[in-house]
Amino acid sequence: MLAPEPARSYVACRDVVKRNSKTFYLSSLFLSPERKRGVWAVYAFCRTADDIVDRMAPAPERLAALDAWERRLFDAYRGIADEPIFTAFADAARRFRIPIEPALDLLRGARLDVTVDRYETYAALRDYCYLVASTVGLLVMPILGTISPEADDYGIELGRAMQMTNILRDVGEDARMGRIYVPAEDLLRFGCDEGAILAGVLDERFVALMCFEIERVRALYREAEPGIALLAPESRYTVRLALALYRGILDRIERNGYDVFRRRAHVPTGAKLRSAVLAAVAR
C-alpha cells in the first residue's frame, strides 16, 4: 500500500494526464495499478516541461524555468521532492529503476522548442523527435517491463511516430506561433511556400505534402509495431491500443481533407472504443 504522500502525488499526476491527453489516459487504464501510477508520473513530468516551453513568456525566462525544472529532477533522484509531480516521479524512479538520462535528453528537446522553430531536413527532425518523444518511451519502458533489450529500439521508433503524428496534426497551431516543423526540404520538394503555411493556405501542393508525410509516419508505426511482442505480456495491450489511437489521428487528418489549419484532428469516442475492441482481438 502506498504511503499517503506518494498516493496523493500520483492522483495529482493522474489529473494532469486526464486534463491533457484523453488518448494517453485511456490507454493507461489497462495497466496494473502500480504500472499505471508510474506512467502517470512520467507523463506529468514530461507534460509540465512542455507547458513551460509553451508559456507566453520571453525565451530567456522559459529557458531559466527549464533549468530550474532540471535541478528539481536531480533533487528528486537524490530523494528530495518539493511538489507532487516530483514526489511521484521519484517514487516511480525508485520502484522501477528509471534512468535519469532520458529525462535529461527530454529537457534538451524542450530547450530546442524555445530556440528552434524550423528543421531543414528529415534527419534533423528525427533527432528532435527522439529528444522530445522517444525519450518518453525510454522512461516508461522500465515501468511496462520488457522481455528483451531490443524493445528499446522499437520504443524509440514508436516515440518518433507519435511525435510526427502530433506535428502533422498541429501544423496550423504551430504556424500561428511562427513554427514550421515539417522539414524545409519537404516543403521545397512539393513546392510549398513558408508564407503559405503560416497563412494557412490549403491547396493541392499542401495536400500532396501531407499525403507524403502521413505515409512516412505510417511506415514508422509499422516499424515499431513488432516491438509490442517484446514487452511484458500484461503491458502489451496498453501499447497496442496507444499505437492504434495515435495512428487513427492520421486517418482523421485525411477525413478532414488535410485541413489542419482550421480543424484539429481527433479520434471520436466511438472510434476509440472500436480501437479498444480491435486491439483486444489482436492480442
Any idea where the domains of the chain sit in the sequence?
1-97, 116-283
Query: Model confidence at 27, in pLDDT bands (50, 70, 90)?
Result: confident
Q: How far apart are CA 53 and CA 185, in angstroms?
A: 26
- Residue 277 or 164, more confident: 164
Report, as an integer, the average pLDDT of 8-15.
Answer: 93
User: What confidence score (pLDDT) does residue 267 get?
Assistant: 63
User: What confidence score (pLDDT) does residue 26 get?
Assistant: 84
187-196, 200-209, 264-273, range with the lowest pLDDT: 264-273
pLDDT digits (tens, 9 = 90+) for 71-84: 999 999 998 888 89
User: In Å, what is the CA distance from 237 to each residue of 19, 30, 144?
Assistant: 23, 7, 11
Report, as an integer, the average pLDDT of 228-251.
Answer: 93
The dihedral built from the CA positions of residue 193, 198, 202 and 207, taken in this order, carries a sign that is: positive
User: In Å, what is the CA distance from 87 to each residue of 18, 97, 109?
Assistant: 19, 15, 23
pLDDT digits (tens, 9 = 90+) for 28-66: 888 999 999 999 999 999 999 999 998 888 999 999 999
User: Other C-beta atoms within 10 Å of 131: how many?
Assistant: 21
User: C-alpha grid cell for residue 186?
Assistant: 519537404
Nearest CA to 145 out of 32, 279, 283, 2 is that of: 32
Q: What percent of the chain has pLDDT over 70?
A: 92
17-31, 45-59, 234-248, range with the lowest pLDDT: 17-31
The yes-or-no answer to whether 1-97 and 116-283 have a common fold is yes
User: What confidence score (pLDDT) does residue 55 get?
Assistant: 87
Query: Model confidence at 280, in pLDDT bands (50, 70, 90)?
Result: very low
> Does domain 116-283 correspond to CATH entry 3.40.50.300?
no
User: What confidence score (pLDDT) does residue 258 get?
Assistant: 96
User: What confidence score (pLDDT) does residue 268 get?
Assistant: 54
Interacting residues of 55 by C-beta distance below 8 A, sequence separation 6+: 61, 62, 65
pLDDT digits (tens, 9 = 90+) for 85-104: 999 999 999 999 999 999 99
pLDDT above 50: residue 235: yes
Q: Residue 196 — φ and ψ, nearest 5°?
A: -70, -40
In this structure, the chain runs to a length of 283
User: In Å, what is the CA distance from 223 to each residue of 88, 97, 121, 153, 154?
Assistant: 32, 27, 21, 10, 7
Query: Model confidence at 198, in pLDDT bands (50, 70, 90)?
Result: very high
How many angstroms separate the most distant Cα atoms in the chain? 59
pTM of the entire predicted model = 0.89
Q: Enter the CATH code of domain 1-97.
A: 1.10.600.10
pLDDT above 70: residue 277: no
Q: How far apart are CA 3 and CA 144, in angstroms?
A: 22
Q: How far apart are CA 239 and CA 94, in angstroms?
A: 23
User: C-alpha grid cell for residue 78?
Assistant: 537524490
